[in-house]
Amino acid sequence: MRNEKAFSRDGFYRFVLEANLMLHRNVAESGRRIVSRWLRTHEPKGVIRILDLACGGAPISICNMTRHFDTYQFDYTGIDINPDQIVAAKSFEYPSNFRKIELHEGNAWHFGDLVKGQHFDIVFSGMNLHHGIPEEILAVMMQVKSVLAPNGLLISHDFFRPETEAYLRRPALDPETGEPFCMIPPEALSRIDTKNLPQFKSPGIEERSDWRQPFITKYRLALAQREAAQQGVEEIMAHVNARDYPVSINELIEIARLAGVALEQVPMEADKEPMKDYFCLLSGQTTSN
Ligand SMILES: C[S@@+](CC[C@H](N)C(=O)[O-])C[C@H]1O[C@@H](n2cnc3c(N)ncnc32)[C@H](O)[C@@H]1O
Protein backbone atom coordinates (compact mmCIF):
# COMPACT_ATOMS: atom_id res chain seq x y z
CA MET A 1 0.00 0.00 0.00
CA ARG A 2 3.08 2.17 0.09
CA ASN A 3 2.32 3.84 -3.24
CA GLU A 4 -1.29 2.94 -3.87
CA LYS A 5 -2.80 5.52 -6.22
CA ALA A 6 -6.24 5.74 -4.59
CA PHE A 7 -4.59 6.68 -1.27
CA SER A 8 -2.17 9.24 -2.67
CA ARG A 9 -2.59 12.97 -3.10
CA ASP A 10 -5.32 13.68 -5.66
CA GLY A 11 -6.25 9.99 -5.34
CA PHE A 12 -9.85 8.86 -5.26
CA TYR A 13 -9.96 8.38 -1.47
CA ARG A 14 -10.49 12.11 -1.08
CA PHE A 15 -13.77 11.80 -3.03
CA VAL A 16 -14.87 8.96 -0.74
CA LEU A 17 -14.12 11.13 2.31
CA GLU A 18 -16.06 14.08 0.96
CA ALA A 19 -19.02 11.87 0.03
CA ASN A 20 -19.00 10.58 3.63
CA LEU A 21 -19.28 7.03 2.32
CA MET A 22 -17.26 5.65 5.23
CA LEU A 23 -19.04 7.87 7.75
CA HIS A 24 -16.11 10.14 8.59
CA ARG A 25 -18.48 12.99 9.51
CA ASN A 26 -20.52 10.80 11.85
CA VAL A 27 -17.31 9.43 13.34
CA ALA A 28 -16.06 12.95 14.06
CA GLU A 29 -19.34 13.89 15.75
CA SER A 30 -19.58 10.77 17.91
CA GLY A 31 -15.84 10.77 18.57
CA ARG A 32 -16.07 14.32 19.86
CA ARG A 33 -18.56 13.15 22.48
CA ILE A 34 -16.19 10.35 23.48
CA VAL A 35 -13.27 12.76 23.82
CA SER A 36 -15.46 15.20 25.76
CA ARG A 37 -16.49 12.49 28.24
CA TRP A 38 -12.89 11.33 28.58
CA LEU A 39 -11.71 14.90 29.28
CA ARG A 40 -14.41 15.40 31.89
CA THR A 41 -13.65 12.08 33.57
CA HIS A 42 -9.87 12.29 33.66
CA GLU A 43 -9.24 16.05 33.62
CA PRO A 44 -5.77 15.70 32.06
CA LYS A 45 -3.42 18.43 33.20
CA GLY A 46 -0.69 18.77 30.57
CA VAL A 47 -0.62 18.66 26.79
CA ILE A 48 -2.61 15.70 25.43
CA ARG A 49 -0.52 13.41 23.24
CA ILE A 50 -2.22 11.84 20.21
CA LEU A 51 -0.88 8.96 18.11
CA ASP A 52 -2.64 8.47 14.75
CA LEU A 53 -1.97 5.09 13.10
CA ALA A 54 -2.15 5.11 9.27
CA CYS A 55 -3.00 8.80 9.41
CA GLY A 56 -3.19 9.42 5.65
CA GLY A 57 -2.69 12.87 4.17
CA ALA A 58 -5.81 14.42 5.68
CA PRO A 59 -6.34 13.30 9.29
CA ILE A 60 -9.79 14.83 9.49
CA SER A 61 -11.38 12.41 11.96
CA ILE A 62 -9.14 12.90 14.96
CA CYS A 63 -8.71 16.62 14.19
CA ASN A 64 -12.47 17.14 14.09
CA MET A 65 -12.90 15.18 17.32
CA THR A 66 -10.50 17.43 19.20
CA ARG A 67 -10.52 20.89 17.58
CA HIS A 68 -13.40 22.22 19.71
CA PHE A 69 -11.64 21.71 23.02
CA ASP A 70 -9.84 25.00 22.99
CA THR A 71 -8.88 24.99 26.66
CA TYR A 72 -6.67 21.96 25.92
CA GLN A 73 -3.55 21.59 23.83
CA PHE A 74 -2.68 18.53 21.79
CA ASP A 75 0.61 17.15 20.44
CA TYR A 76 -0.01 15.07 17.34
CA THR A 77 2.09 12.18 15.98
CA GLY A 78 0.96 10.57 12.72
CA ILE A 79 2.39 7.48 11.03
CA ASP A 80 1.73 6.46 7.44
CA ILE A 81 3.56 4.13 5.10
CA ASN A 82 2.89 6.17 1.97
CA PRO A 83 5.54 8.93 1.54
CA ASP A 84 3.13 10.95 -0.57
CA GLN A 85 0.60 10.93 2.28
CA ILE A 86 3.23 12.12 4.72
CA VAL A 87 3.99 15.05 2.40
CA ALA A 88 0.25 15.82 2.21
CA ALA A 89 -0.12 15.51 6.00
CA LYS A 90 2.69 18.07 6.41
CA SER A 91 0.64 20.70 4.62
CA PHE A 92 -2.69 19.76 6.24
CA GLU A 93 -4.31 22.54 8.26
CA TYR A 94 -4.28 21.28 11.85
CA PRO A 95 -6.57 22.75 14.51
CA SER A 96 -5.26 25.77 16.38
CA ASN A 97 -5.18 23.81 19.65
CA PHE A 98 -2.56 21.46 18.13
CA ARG A 99 0.79 22.54 19.55
CA LYS A 100 3.23 20.15 17.91
CA ILE A 101 2.92 18.00 14.78
CA GLU A 102 5.23 15.06 14.17
CA LEU A 103 4.88 12.84 11.11
CA HIS A 104 6.65 9.55 10.45
CA GLU A 105 6.82 7.63 7.23
CA GLY A 106 6.70 4.04 8.42
CA ASN A 107 4.72 0.98 9.37
CA ALA A 108 1.82 1.76 11.70
CA TRP A 109 1.44 -1.98 12.40
CA HIS A 110 4.95 -2.29 13.76
CA PHE A 111 5.65 1.13 15.15
CA GLY A 112 7.61 0.58 18.35
CA ASP A 113 10.88 2.02 17.04
CA LEU A 114 9.19 5.10 15.60
CA VAL A 115 7.86 6.23 18.98
CA LYS A 116 10.41 4.59 21.28
CA GLY A 117 9.96 5.51 24.93
CA GLN A 118 6.88 7.65 24.25
CA HIS A 119 3.38 7.33 25.66
CA PHE A 120 0.14 8.70 24.31
CA ASP A 121 -3.13 9.80 25.87
CA ILE A 122 -5.17 9.11 22.74
CA VAL A 123 -4.42 6.54 20.03
CA PHE A 124 -6.55 6.83 16.92
CA SER A 125 -6.75 4.29 14.11
CA GLY A 126 -8.93 5.17 11.13
CA MET A 127 -9.78 2.81 8.28
CA ASN A 128 -6.75 0.71 8.99
CA LEU A 129 -7.42 -2.44 11.03
CA HIS A 130 -9.47 -4.08 8.27
CA HIS A 131 -6.21 -4.74 6.40
CA GLY A 132 -5.00 -7.16 9.06
CA ILE A 133 -5.55 -10.83 9.83
CA PRO A 134 -6.49 -11.64 13.47
CA GLU A 135 -2.89 -12.34 14.59
CA GLU A 136 -1.75 -8.99 13.18
CA ILE A 137 -4.63 -7.17 14.86
CA LEU A 138 -3.69 -8.80 18.16
CA ALA A 139 -0.08 -7.71 17.66
CA VAL A 140 -1.01 -4.11 16.90
CA MET A 141 -3.41 -4.01 19.86
CA MET A 142 -0.59 -5.21 22.13
CA GLN A 143 1.57 -2.37 20.83
CA VAL A 144 -1.29 0.10 21.40
CA LYS A 145 -1.67 -1.15 24.96
CA SER A 146 2.05 -0.66 25.55
CA VAL A 147 2.08 2.97 24.35
CA LEU A 148 -1.17 4.11 25.97
CA ALA A 149 -0.60 6.24 29.05
CA PRO A 150 -2.56 5.38 32.21
CA ASN A 151 -6.24 6.24 31.51
CA GLY A 152 -5.36 6.56 27.81
CA LEU A 153 -8.07 6.28 25.19
CA LEU A 154 -8.14 4.18 22.00
CA ILE A 155 -10.52 5.29 19.25
CA SER A 156 -10.95 3.10 16.20
CA HIS A 157 -13.02 3.73 13.07
CA ASP A 158 -13.09 0.86 10.63
CA PHE A 159 -14.74 -1.42 8.09
CA PHE A 160 -16.29 -4.62 9.49
CA ARG A 161 -17.74 -7.85 8.25
CA PRO A 162 -21.40 -8.40 9.26
CA GLU A 163 -21.57 -10.82 12.23
CA THR A 164 -23.75 -13.21 10.23
CA GLU A 165 -21.15 -13.78 7.49
CA ALA A 166 -18.33 -16.34 7.57
CA TYR A 167 -14.81 -15.01 8.04
CA LEU A 168 -12.69 -14.88 4.89
CA ARG A 169 -8.96 -14.79 5.47
CA ARG A 170 -6.83 -12.37 3.50
CA PRO A 171 -4.65 -14.26 0.99
CA ALA A 172 -0.96 -14.43 1.87
CA LEU A 173 0.17 -12.92 -1.43
CA ASP A 174 -1.05 -10.18 -3.72
CA PRO A 175 -2.35 -12.16 -6.73
CA GLU A 176 -1.27 -9.33 -9.09
CA THR A 177 2.31 -8.83 -7.95
CA GLY A 178 3.09 -11.93 -5.88
CA GLU A 179 4.19 -9.62 -3.03
CA PRO A 180 3.25 -10.69 0.51
CA PHE A 181 0.26 -8.82 1.96
CA CYS A 182 1.54 -9.05 5.53
CA MET A 183 1.23 -5.90 7.67
CA ILE A 184 3.77 -7.08 10.23
CA PRO A 185 7.13 -8.69 9.43
CA PRO A 186 6.64 -12.47 9.89
CA GLU A 187 9.52 -12.81 12.36
CA ALA A 188 7.94 -10.14 14.59
CA LEU A 189 4.53 -11.75 14.27
CA SER A 190 5.92 -15.16 15.19
CA ARG A 191 6.89 -13.77 18.60
CA ILE A 192 3.25 -13.00 19.47
CA ASP A 193 1.42 -15.50 21.64
CA THR A 194 -1.74 -16.26 19.65
CA LYS A 195 -2.90 -19.36 21.54
CA ASN A 196 -5.92 -17.61 23.05
CA LEU A 197 -7.13 -16.16 19.77
CA PRO A 198 -10.58 -17.53 18.88
CA GLN A 199 -10.75 -19.86 15.89
CA PHE A 200 -11.46 -17.90 12.74
CA LYS A 201 -12.83 -20.63 10.55
CA SER A 202 -12.42 -19.55 6.96
CA PRO A 203 -14.46 -21.72 4.59
CA GLY A 204 -12.54 -23.33 1.73
CA ILE A 205 -12.50 -21.46 -1.55
CA GLU A 206 -15.03 -23.88 -3.09
CA GLU A 207 -17.66 -23.17 -0.38
CA ARG A 208 -17.02 -19.48 -0.15
CA SER A 209 -19.84 -17.10 -0.56
CA ASP A 210 -17.95 -13.85 -0.59
CA TRP A 211 -20.02 -11.47 1.56
CA ARG A 212 -17.93 -8.61 0.16
CA GLN A 213 -19.62 -8.82 -3.23
CA PRO A 214 -22.97 -7.37 -2.04
CA PHE A 215 -20.92 -4.75 -0.16
CA ILE A 216 -19.09 -3.86 -3.38
CA THR A 217 -22.36 -3.67 -5.34
CA LYS A 218 -23.83 -1.27 -2.75
CA TYR A 219 -20.65 0.77 -2.67
CA ARG A 220 -20.57 1.05 -6.47
CA LEU A 221 -24.19 2.18 -6.51
CA ALA A 222 -23.59 4.82 -3.82
CA LEU A 223 -20.57 6.11 -5.76
CA ALA A 224 -22.51 6.18 -9.04
CA GLN A 225 -25.29 8.18 -7.35
CA ARG A 226 -22.63 10.70 -6.36
CA GLU A 227 -21.31 10.82 -9.92
CA ALA A 228 -17.91 9.45 -9.01
CA ALA A 229 -15.27 9.16 -11.73
CA GLN A 230 -15.25 5.61 -13.10
CA GLN A 231 -11.49 5.18 -12.90
CA GLY A 232 -11.49 6.05 -9.20
CA VAL A 233 -14.36 3.64 -8.56
CA GLU A 234 -12.39 0.83 -10.22
CA GLU A 235 -9.27 1.64 -8.18
CA ILE A 236 -11.16 1.48 -4.89
CA MET A 237 -12.99 -1.70 -5.86
CA ALA A 238 -9.73 -3.37 -6.89
CA HIS A 239 -8.30 -2.44 -3.50
CA VAL A 240 -11.31 -3.84 -1.59
CA ASN A 241 -11.28 -7.04 -3.65
CA ALA A 242 -7.59 -7.66 -3.19
CA ARG A 243 -6.93 -6.52 0.38
CA ASP A 244 -9.99 -6.01 2.54
CA TYR A 245 -10.91 -9.10 4.58
CA PRO A 246 -12.17 -7.55 7.81
CA VAL A 247 -13.10 -9.21 11.05
CA SER A 248 -16.49 -8.47 12.62
CA ILE A 249 -17.07 -5.90 15.37
CA ASN A 250 -17.40 -8.60 18.05
CA GLU A 251 -14.24 -10.29 16.85
CA LEU A 252 -12.30 -7.03 17.07
CA ILE A 253 -13.64 -6.47 20.59
CA GLU A 254 -12.51 -9.99 21.55
CA ILE A 255 -9.04 -9.57 20.02
CA ALA A 256 -8.58 -6.22 21.76
CA ARG A 257 -9.69 -7.79 25.05
CA LEU A 258 -6.98 -10.43 24.70
CA ALA A 259 -4.45 -7.63 24.26
CA GLY A 260 -5.73 -5.87 27.38
CA VAL A 261 -7.87 -3.17 25.74
CA ALA A 262 -11.59 -3.03 26.54
CA LEU A 263 -13.29 -1.69 23.42
CA GLU A 264 -16.96 -0.96 22.91
CA GLN A 265 -19.03 0.19 20.01
CA VAL A 266 -19.88 3.89 19.96
CA PRO A 267 -23.39 4.75 18.72
CA MET A 268 -23.52 6.91 15.59
CA GLU A 269 -26.49 8.64 14.03
CA ALA A 270 -25.98 7.51 10.46
CA ASP A 271 -29.41 6.26 9.39
CA LYS A 272 -29.28 8.11 6.09
CA GLU A 273 -25.86 6.83 5.07
CA PRO A 274 -26.03 3.99 2.51
CA MET A 275 -22.95 2.13 3.83
CA LYS A 276 -23.80 2.49 7.54
CA ASP A 277 -23.97 -1.27 8.18
CA TYR A 278 -20.30 -1.76 7.36
CA PHE A 279 -18.52 1.04 9.22
CA CYS A 280 -18.28 1.47 12.93
CA LEU A 281 -16.62 3.50 15.66
CA LEU A 282 -15.24 1.87 18.81
CA SER A 283 -13.47 3.28 21.79
CA GLY A 284 -11.98 2.00 24.98
CA GLN A 285 -9.25 1.96 27.55
CA THR A 286 -6.67 -0.50 28.73
CA THR A 287 -7.50 -3.06 31.37
CA SER A 288 -5.20 -3.90 34.21
CA ASN A 289 -4.26 -7.49 33.12
C1 LIG B 1 -8.07 4.18 3.99
S2 LIG B 1 -6.70 5.24 4.35
C3 LIG B 1 -7.14 5.85 5.96
C4 LIG B 1 -6.69 7.27 6.19
C5 LIG B 1 -7.20 7.91 7.48
N6 LIG B 1 -6.62 7.27 8.65
C7 LIG B 1 -8.69 7.87 7.58
O8 LIG B 1 -9.20 7.58 8.68
O9 LIG B 1 -9.39 8.19 6.63
C10 LIG B 1 -5.51 4.05 4.73
C11 LIG B 1 -4.15 4.63 5.01
O12 LIG B 1 -3.35 3.62 5.55
C13 LIG B 1 -2.04 3.77 5.07
N14 LIG B 1 -1.36 2.50 5.30
C15 LIG B 1 -1.57 1.31 4.73
N16 LIG B 1 -0.77 0.37 5.25
C17 LIG B 1 -0.04 0.99 6.21
C18 LIG B 1 0.96 0.57 7.12
N19 LIG B 1 1.37 -0.68 7.17
N20 LIG B 1 1.49 1.49 7.94
C21 LIG B 1 1.11 2.79 7.90
N22 LIG B 1 0.17 3.23 7.06
C23 LIG B 1 -0.41 2.35 6.23
C24 LIG B 1 -2.23 4.17 3.62
O25 LIG B 1 -1.10 4.78 3.08
C26 LIG B 1 -3.42 5.12 3.75
O27 LIG B 1 -3.00 6.45 3.96
* pLDDT digits 0-9 by tens, 70-128: 999 999 999 999 999 999 999 999 999 999 999 999 999 999 999 999 999 999 999 99
Is any ligand 1 atom within 6 A of the Cβ of residue 152? no
- Beginning with the edge strand found earlier in the chain, give each strand of the sheet holding 48-53 in spatial order: 98-105, 74-80, 48-53, 120-126, 148-159, 279-286, 261-266
Amino acid letter, residue 212: R
Average predicted confidence (pLDDT) for the chain? 94
Query: What is the rounded distance in angstroms from the CA atom of residue 37 to the CA atom of residue 54?
Result: 25
249-259 vs 134-147: helix crossing angle, rounded to 10: 50
Residue 65's closest CA among 131, 121, 134? 121
Q: pLDDT value at position 94?
A: 98
Report residue 162's pLDDT band, with 50, 70 and 90 as the boundaries: very high
CA of 74 to the centre of ligand 1 (A): 21
Average pLDDT value for residue range 123-139: 97
Is any ligand 1 atom within 6 A of the Cβ of residue 79? yes
Which of 12, 128, 133, 179 most suits a substitution to test ligand 1, by most atoms within 8 Å of the C-beta?
A: 128
Q: pLDDT value at position 9?
A: 76
Query: What is the rounded distance in angstroms from the CA atom of residue 214 to the CA atom of residue 217?
Result: 5
Is any ligand 1 atom within 6 A of the Cβ of residue 62? no
Contact in structure between 125 and 143 (CB atoms under 8 Å)? no
Q: Which atom belonging to ligand 1 lies closest to the Cα atom of 17?
A: 9
Statement: residue 200 has pLDDT above 80: no
Is any ligand 1 atom within 6 A of the Cβ of residue 54? yes
Statement: residue 206 has pLDDT above 60: no
Average pLDDT value for residue range 244-273: 96
Q: pLDDT value at position 3?
A: 72
Is any ligand 1 atom within 6 A of the Cβ of residue 256? no
Contact in structure between 125 and 51 (CB atoms under 8 Å)? no
Q: pLDDT value at position 11?
A: 81
Q: Convert the pLDDT of each residue in 1-53 to its tens digit.
A: 667 777 877 788 999 999 999 999 999 999 999 999 999 999 999 999 999 99
Question: Which has the minimum average pLDDT: 56-65, 135-144, 200-209, 239-248?
Answer: 200-209
Query: What is the rounded distance in angstroms from the CA atom of residue 169 to the CA atom of residue 167?
Result: 6
- pTM, full prediction: 0.96
Query: What is the rounded distance in angstroms from the CA atom of residue 272 to the CA atom of residue 90?
Result: 33
Contact in structure between 128 and 53 (CB atoms under 8 Å)? yes
The full 3-state SS of the chain, as one line of letters, equals: CCCCHHHCCCCCHHHHHHCCCCCHHHHHHHHHHHHHHHHHHHCCCCCEEEEEECCCCCCHHHHHHHCCCCCCCEEEEEEECCHHHHHHHHCCCCCCCEEEEEEEECCCCCCHHHHCCCCEEEEEEECCHHHCCHHHHHHHHHHHHHHEEEEEEEEEEEECCCCCCCCCCCCCECCCCCCECCCCCHHHHCCCCCCCCCCCCCCCHHHCCCCHHHHHHHHHHHHHHCCCCHHHHHHHHHHHHHHCCCCCHHHHHHHHHHHCEEEEEECCCCCCCCCHHHEEEEEEEECCC
If one counts every other C-beta atom within 10 angstroms of the C-beta of residue 182, the result is 18
Is any ligand 1 atom within 6 A of the Cβ of residue 160? no
Enumerate the β-bridge partners of residue 173: 180
Report residue 199's pLDDT band, with 50, 70 and 90 as the boundaries: confident
Statement: residue 234 has pLDDT above 90: yes
Is any ligand 1 atom within 6 A of the Cβ of residue 108? yes
Average pLDDT value for residue range 53-77: 97
Residue 157's closest CA among 37, 289, 21? 21
Q: Which domains does the chain have, with CATH numbers?
A: 5-286 (3.40.50.150)
